[in-house]
């Protein structure tokens, strides 16, 4: 069984809580409201990332922590902590597993490939796990110049000297039903194996939604598709006739008896 290493995480509790808040709000209330003024506009399918990126720029606003937009294949907002020298990126657990499985066949360098090879290259799991099926195809993007270019451009977008950055931390999370379920900070090596991780899930606070009235109003519009529609006079008359109960007269009752 693979053992975790003894990597020392120095992330402050305040940093963890702010990061959790950024992601929790994004997958919850922010994505429901779909508010304006987002820091990025990736598109409707990825609206959650617009919310996360906006929150990172909003809540991480100090001299010790830098969160800025960079575009490396897709738009993302890395977060650099000056106190620890660690640059953080965020990803869903499922997406990370997908990238790991595709590693032998991938021809294009992903930003986590570049960051892990540049900053975490010398890290190994303890003991190093020997694979029964050796990973082939690493040479497909063993382009050191391309890897260096991705990393240097990212540092430039963040306006930080490369010598200040020590490690890359990958923050993985899962969510369900507009709630953050799990979150952990992982250190991965150049093979995209998790060397060690710090589980932050116990810091997630269950909070009630503060927008029940707004969501109820949105739902009511779908429940009543005729809301706010103006009828023409003929339609009004037809609608009133349909809504009036039918009154059975004596003649109708006699006809029914004769039929029976």
Query: Domain boundaries in the chain?
Result: 13-213
Query: What is the enclosing helix (H) or strand (E) of 187?
Result: strand 179-188
Alpha-carbon distance of 190 to 114, in angstroms, equals 8
Percent of the chain past pLDDT 70, that is, above it, reads: 63
Whose tokens are 């519009």? That residue is: 221
| Mean pLDDT across 56-85 | 89
| Mean pLDDT across 146-169 | 93
Alpha-carbon distance of 53 to 38, in angstroms, equals 8
Q: Which residue has the higher pLDDT, 184 or 225?
A: 184
Residue 225 has a pLDDT of 41
Alpha-carbon distance of 162 to 151, in angstroms, equals 9
Alpha-carbon distance of 169 to 160, in angstroms, equals 17
pLDDT tens column, 216-242: 343 344 344 444 445 455 545 555 555
CA dist 158 → 17, 19, 75, 80, 168 (Å): 22, 18, 13, 8, 14
Residue 141 has a pLDDT of 60
Q: Is the pTM of this model over 0.85?
A: no
Which strands, in side-by-side order, build the sheet including 86-92? 65-67, 79-81, 86-92, 167-176, 179-188, 194-199
Residue 171 has a pLDDT of 98
pLDDT level of residue 208 (50, 70, 90 thresholds)? very low
Residue 211 has a pLDDT of 39
- Asked if residue 25 has pLDDT above 50, the reply is yes
Alpha-carbon distance of 112 to 96, in angstroms, equals 9
Cβ-proximal residues to 157 (8 Å cutoff; 6+ apart), any chain = 68, 69, 70
pLDDT tens column, 89-144: 999 999 999 999 998 888 888 999 999 999 998 887 654 444 444 444 444 566 78
- Asked if residue 15 has pLDDT above 60, the reply is yes
- Total residue count of the chain as it appears in this document: 260
């Amino acid at each position: 069984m693979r053992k975790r290493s003894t990597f020392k995480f120095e992330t402050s509790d305040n940093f963890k809580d702010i990061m959790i808040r950024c992601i929790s709000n994004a997958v919850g209330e922010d994505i429901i409201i779909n508010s304006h003024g987002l820091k990025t506009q990736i598109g409707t399918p990825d609206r959650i990332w617009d919310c996360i990126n906006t929150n990172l720029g909003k809540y991480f606003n100090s001299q010790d922590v830098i969160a800025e937009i960079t575009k490396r294949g897709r738009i993302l907002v890395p977060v650099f902590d000056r106190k620890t020298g660690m640059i953080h990126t965020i990803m869903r657990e499922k997406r990370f597993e997908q990238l790991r499985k595709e590693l032998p066949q991938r021809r294009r360098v992903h930003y986590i490939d570049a960051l892990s090879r540049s900053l975490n290259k010398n890290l190994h799991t303890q003991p190093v796990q020997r694979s029964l099926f050796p990973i082939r195809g690493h040479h497909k993007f063993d382009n050191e110049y391309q890897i260096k270019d991705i990393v240097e451009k990212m540092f430039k977008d963040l306006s930080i000297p490369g010598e200040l950055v020590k490690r890359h931390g990958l923050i993985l999370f899962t969510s369900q039903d507009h709630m953050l379920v799990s979150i952990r900070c992982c250190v991965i090596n150049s093979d995209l194996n998790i060397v060690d991780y710090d589980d932050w899930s116990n810091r997630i606070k269950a909070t009630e939604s503060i927008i029940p009235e707004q969501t109820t109003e949105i739902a009511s519009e779908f429940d009543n598709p005729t809301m706010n529609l103006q009828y023409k006079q003929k339609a009004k008359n037809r609608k009133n006739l349909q809504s009036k109960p039918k009154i059975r007269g004596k003649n109708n009752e006699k006809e029914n008896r004769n039929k029976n």
